A and B are shown apart, each in its own frame.
Chain A
C-alpha cells in the first residue's frame, strides 16, 4: 500500500467517527510514515493520541499486507505514559484503531499495577502494542534476554514528555531510549508535549543532540488557537482586603455564584492543605453543597480519586477542590469553569489548568483567578499578559545525573551485562551525558565494581563484577533482587499509609508531618478530622474525631516558585502602576488604594529602580529588598547578601522571602549605604560566597537523599512487599556525613551540591538578577512603619537563620535562651 492509500484509510476512519482530522494530526501521520522522528506539541484533549496511534497501525499494515489474516506476535510499539492512571484511556483509543482497521494487533498494559500473573504472561508473549511507564520500561531492561523483546519494535511514543523533562525520570527515559535505539533497527521515537518554552530543546533531549534521529526529525505544533479567557476576582473592598495571606477564604462567597452558574467547576489550589481547608469551609458555609462537591489530591487513596474522576465525567458533581493531581490527562468534558486560587507560579501550569475547562476543540476555556492577598492581583494581571503572548516557561533538563547513570548501568548488569566500550558511546549520545568525559565514565565503572576508586585488600564490596571477557555483570541474586525492587523509586519523602485502626485505608502522608504529632493530636486529612493513635509498620493508625483542630498537614511539595518569564511579566505589570490610567489593566487600577498607601513612605518602583526599604518594629530592624524574581532566587540572594554583610561585622539575620522580595531581620540596623558602597550585590565570586553562606550544606543534604536512593546506596525497604532489609537500612543523612568526612570528592556527593546550585538556587537566574540590579538605580527608603509591599514578607513565620557567628557561639546563645525560659 502506498502512503496515499494509507492516508485515505486514516481519513475515512476519522470521518466514520464524525470527526475531521486537524492539520497537526495529518502532519504527524505523514512524518511518521516517512520514517521520521519527532515531537508533537499538542494539549490534552486535542486528539493527540490518534495523531500517533493511527500511523503506528498504518505503518504495520504497510509492512504486513496480509495483516487481516496473519498475525506475527511480538512487541511492535511502546507507548510511555508518566501516569499509570492514564493507561486505560490510552488503551481504549489504541484498541479502537486496531479493531476498526481490521488488524489483529493486541494492546497490553504493563505498570506497577499489573498483576504478577499478567506480567509472567507478557514475558512469554508480549502484546503487539505495549502501554507502560518509564519505570516499568527500566524493569524490562533488567530482565534476562531483553534485547530479543525489542528487536522488532518499530516505534516508541513518550506521552506528556514535558512532565518527564526536567526530572530524573526524564533522564531515566533518555538512557532507556539510547538502549532501544541500539537494539532495534527501525525505531521511530516520538514525544508528545504540552506547550513549554523550550520545545526545540525538548526534542533534542528526547532524541539526543547529535544523533542521526535528530537530523531526521520534525517538531509539529498543534496551533489550535484555543480561546482562553482569564477573569480576575477583584475583592469588592480592596481597601480592607488583607495585605498578606495564602488561603483566600475571604473571597469564598464570590466563588459560590460561579459554581452555581456552571455545569462543573474545578477549584485549583496550590497545596494539599489549602485544598483541605477550602473544601471544609465551602461545606461549612454552604451545607447545601453536601454530596455535590468533592476533593481530589495526591494523598487521597486511589479508589476515592478514581471515584471523583468518574463523578466529574458523569456530571454528578458541581465542584471539585483539587491540586495539581488533576492537572494531567483524562478528559473531563463537563468541566465548564476553572478557578485558580492563589498564584499558579507558572504560566504552563496556568494554561494547562485553564485547558481543563471547555475541554473540547473549539470551545472557549474560562479560568478565574482568585487572589489570596491584594498584591497577588498584580500576578493575575501578569498572567493575562502571559496567556495572550504564550509566554510559557522552560523545563530545564538535568545534566550529568550520575545517580541515574549508576542505576541504569546496574540495571543492564543485572540482566545481560554490558561492555563498557560500546555502552560509553551510547550513553554519550544522550542529552544528559553528552559531556561525560572518559575520566568520569571510568569513575562510574570503578564505583560499580569497587564501590570506590581504589582497590583495598580488606574490602568486601560486592555489586557488579567484571567477567573474563570484559563484560560487566551482576551475578549475585540478592543484589539483583534488591536492585529490581529499587528501580524507579519515585523519590519523595517517606510516605506512610493512613488508616483507621479498625481497617480502611484513607491515604498517604509524609512522614515528617506525622513525626510532629503526639498520640491524641487531631489533624485534618482527606476532609476528615482524625485523631492520631500510633505509627505501626509504616502505617499511621487513626480514628475519627469530633474535636476542632487547626492542624492541617502542609505538604513540602507545596512551596512553588515563580518562573523567570513570569517574574519578568510580574515586574512589567508592577511598573505599569506608574503609567497613565489608560495603560493599566483592571487589576492594577483596582490596586490604586494599595499603591497610594505604598507611596506614602516609599515608592512603587519603576523599570530602572531597585527598591530597598528599612524600618524598625518591636521585632527588630527590617531590611527589605524587592527583586521580584521568585522565592528560590530570593532565598539564594538573601543568603548571599546576608553572608556578605556578615563579613563586614558579625551579625545574625533571620531571612524571610516570598515571590516578590526578601527580608533580612536583625537586632541591629545594617547601614545600607555601606552595603552599596561595598558593592555587595556584585555577581563576582557569587558561587564561592553562596557555598560559604550557611545553608548550602543543608540544602545539599536534602538533595543527597534522592541521590543516595537512586544510586542504590540506601535501601528503602519494601514493607508492603514483605521484603525485609532492616539490617541494610541506613539513612542518607548519616551517609552524607560520612561522605563529607571521608570521601568529599565522590561524584555522587558532589552532585548534591551541583543540583542545589543549579536546580534549587537557580544559580543562572540569580546571576542574571544580580546583573540586572547592577544596572538599576537603587532607591533606599527609610520608613516609619511597614509598607504594604513589605507586609506579606515580614509576617512570614517560616524563616531561615543566617549567621556569621561561630557554631560554638551559636550553641552557647541558643543554650542561654533555653535557660531563660
Chain B
C-alpha cells in the first residue's frame, strides 16, 4: 500500500491518502487539508456533499492509526477560509487525537495563530530538521532537501488513442518533494516532468512510481 522512499539516507513512506511518514523521526506530514472549504461553499448556497467534512477527519485518523506517529506536521493551508463551523469539528478532533501538532502556515491560513496555540498547535513559518526543510510553498535552498505542498501536484498520463489519466501525485525533483493535497474537494494542478524528476502517482489506493 505505501511506497518507500529514501532521501539522503533517511527513510520515508508515501501513503495513498497523500501523507508522508518519516520513519527515523516517527513524524507524519500532511499538506493542504483545506478544512472549512466545504462549509464555505455551503454557506454561499453551493451544496457540496456534507459527508466530505467528516471524511477528512476519518481519513486522517486512518493514517494516524496506520503509522502511529509521534507528531503531526501540517504543511500549510490547513484551514481554507475564515472561521466557520468546521473549526469546532477540528478542535474536537485535535483534542481527541492527543498528538503533538505543528502548523507550517500557508497562504490560506488566515485564522489567528492564537487560535491554534490555544489548541496546543505551534504555528511556524518553516521547520528545519536534519538537513530537511519543511515549508508550505515549494522552494529550493542550498544545503537542504525541501518538502512542501501548496500546488496540489497531479500528473497527466497519456496513452495511445485518446487515453488520458490525471492523477494526484508526490512530485520529487533532485532537491525537493511536493506532497499532494490531502483534503477532499481541493482540486489538482498538473505538472510536467523534467529530467531527473520522479513522479509517484496515486491510483486505486496505491502509490505507483511512474
CB-defined interface of A233-256 with B at 8 Å, one 1/0 digit per residue?
A: 000000000000000000000000
A451's partner among B50, B162, B187, B206 (CB-CB below 8 A) is B50
A715's partner among B46, B48, B53, B86 (CB-CB below 8 A) is B46
Assuming the A-B contacts A459-B39, A460-B85, A814-B165, are A728 and B184 also in contact, with contact meaning beta carbons closer than 8 angstroms in the complex?
Answer: no
From B81, which residue of chain A is reached at the shortest CB distance?
A727
Assuming the A-B contacts A461-B47, A712-B46, A741-B184, are A817 and B52 also in contact, with contact meaning beta carbons closer than 8 angstroms in the complex?
Answer: no
With A463-B45, A811-B167, A815-B208 given, name 9 new contacts (CB 8 A): A458-B39, A479-B44, A730-B46, A735-B48, A738-B48, A741-B52, A742-B49, A742-B50, A812-B208
Whether, in the assembled complex, A678 has its beta carbon less than 8 Å from a beta carbon of chain B, the answer is: no
**Contact of A728 with B44 in the complex, beta carbons under 8 Å:** yes
Whether, in the assembled complex, B185 has its beta carbon less than 8 Å from a beta carbon of chain A, the answer is: yes
Whether, in the assembled complex, A478 has its beta carbon less than 8 Å from a beta carbon of chain B, the answer is: yes
**Stretch from B117-125, B129-137, B141-149, B152-160 forming part of the interface with A:** B152-160
**Contact of B162 with A801 in the complex, beta carbons under 8 Å:** yes
Chain A residues whose CB sits within 8 angstroms of the CB of B43 once the complex forms = 460-462
Whether, in the assembled complex, A799 has its beta carbon less than 8 Å from a beta carbon of chain B, the answer is: yes
**Stretch from A24-32, A42-50, A310-318, A802-810 forming part of the interface with B:** A802-810
**Contact of A462 with B42 in the complex, beta carbons under 8 Å:** yes
Q: How far is the CB of B205 from chain A (nearest CB, A)?
A: 10
**Contact of B47 with A451 in the complex, beta carbons under 8 Å:** yes
Chain B residues whose CB sits within 8 angstroms of the CB of A814 once the complex forms = 157-159, 163, 165
Query: B47-106: which residues lie under 8 A (CB-CB) from chain A?
Result: 47-53, 55, 84-86, 88-89
Assuming the A-B contacts A811-B201, A815-B157, are A462 and B85 also in contact, with contact meaning beta carbons closer than 8 angstroms in the complex?
Answer: no
Q: A83 to B53, alpha carbons, bound, how many Å?
A: 44
Chain B residues whose CB sits within 8 angstroms of the CB of A742 once the complex forms = 49-52, 55, 184
Whether, in the assembled complex, A535 has its beta carbon less than 8 Å from a beta carbon of chain B, the answer is: no
Whether, in the assembled complex, B204 has its beta carbon less than 8 Å from a beta carbon of chain A, the answer is: yes
Whether, in the assembled complex, A13 has its beta carbon less than 8 Å from a beta carbon of chain B, the answer is: no
Q: How far is the CB of A550 from chain B (nearest CB, A)?
A: 20
Chain B residues whose CB sits within 8 angstroms of the CB of A746 once the complex forms = 49
Chain A residues whose CB sits within 8 angstroms of the CB of B51 once the complex forms = 742-743
In the A-B complex, the 4 residue pairs with the smallest Cβ-Cβ separation, listed nearest first, are A451-B47, A743-B49, A742-B51, A799-B161
**Contact of A738 with B208 in the complex, beta carbons under 8 Å:** no
Q: A476 to B51, alpha carbons, bound, how many Å?
A: 25
Q: A461 to B51, alpha carbons, bound, how many Å?
A: 13
CB-defined interface of A728-769 with B at 8 Å, one 1/0 digit per residue?
A: 101100110011011100100000000000000000000000
**Contact of B184 with A482 in the complex, beta carbons under 8 Å:** no
**A residues apposed to B, CB below 8 Å:** 447, 451-452, 454, 456, 458-463, 476, 478-479, 482-483, 654, 712-715, 727-728, 730-731, 734-735, 738-739, 741-743, 746, 798-801, 806-808, 810-815, 817-818
Whether, in the assembled complex, B1 has its beta carbon less than 8 Å from a beta carbon of chain A, the answer is: no
Chain A residues whose CB sits within 8 angstroms of the CB of B88 once the complex forms = 458
CB-defined interface of B180-210 with A at 8 Å, one 1/0 digit per residue?
A: 0000111100000000000001011010101
Q: How far is the CB of B60 from chain A (nearest CB, A)?
A: 15
Q: A800 to B187, alpha carbons, bound, how many Å?
A: 25
Q: What are 11 A-to-B residue pairs whose CB atoms are below 8 Å?
A: A456-B50, A458-B39, A458-B85, A460-B42, A654-B160, A712-B45, A738-B49, A738-B52, A738-B185, A743-B49, A810-B159
Q: A458 to B53, alpha carbons, bound, how many Å?
A: 10
Q: A654 to B84, alpha carbons, bound, how many Å?
A: 49
Query: Which residue of A461, A483, A727, A739 has the most chain B CB atoms within 10 A of its CB atom?
Result: A461
Q: A452 to B46, alpha carbons, bound, how many Å?
A: 11
**Contact of B162 with A452 in the complex, beta carbons under 8 Å:** no
From A819, which residue of chain B is reached at the shortest CB distance?
B210
Assuming the A-B contacts A810-B159, A811-B210, are A730 and B52 also in contact, with contact meaning beta carbons closer than 8 angstroms in the complex?
Answer: no
**Contact of B44 with A654 in the complex, beta carbons under 8 Å:** no
Query: Which residue of B39, B45, B203 has the most chain A CB atoms within 10 A of its CB atom?
Result: B45
From A802, which residue of chain B is reached at the shortest CB distance?
B161
Query: Which residue of B44, B47, B50, B185 has the most chain A CB atoms within 10 A of its CB atom?
Result: B47
Q: A727 to B80, alpha carbons, bound, how many Å?
A: 10
**Contact of A817 with B47 in the complex, beta carbons under 8 Å:** no
From B163, which residue of chain A is reached at the shortest CB distance?
A801
Q: A741 to B39, alpha carbons, bound, how many Å?
A: 17
Q: How far is the CB of A737 from chain B (nearest CB, A)?
A: 8
From B44, which residue of chain A is reached at the shortest CB distance?
A728
**Contact of B41 with A728 in the complex, beta carbons under 8 Å:** yes
From B55, which residue of chain A is reached at the shortest CB distance?
A742
**Contact of A800 with B41 in the complex, beta carbons under 8 Å:** no
Chain B residues whose CB sits within 8 angstroms of the CB of A812 once the complex forms = 208
Assuming the A-B contacts A734-B187, A811-B157, are A459 and B45 also in contact, with contact meaning beta carbons closer than 8 angstroms in the complex?
Answer: no
Chain A residues whose CB sits within 8 angstroms of the CB of B49 once the complex forms = 452, 738-739, 742-743, 746
Chain A residues whose CB sits within 8 angstroms of the CB of B157 once the complex forms = 811, 814-815, 818
From B86, which residue of chain A is reached at the shortest CB distance?
A458
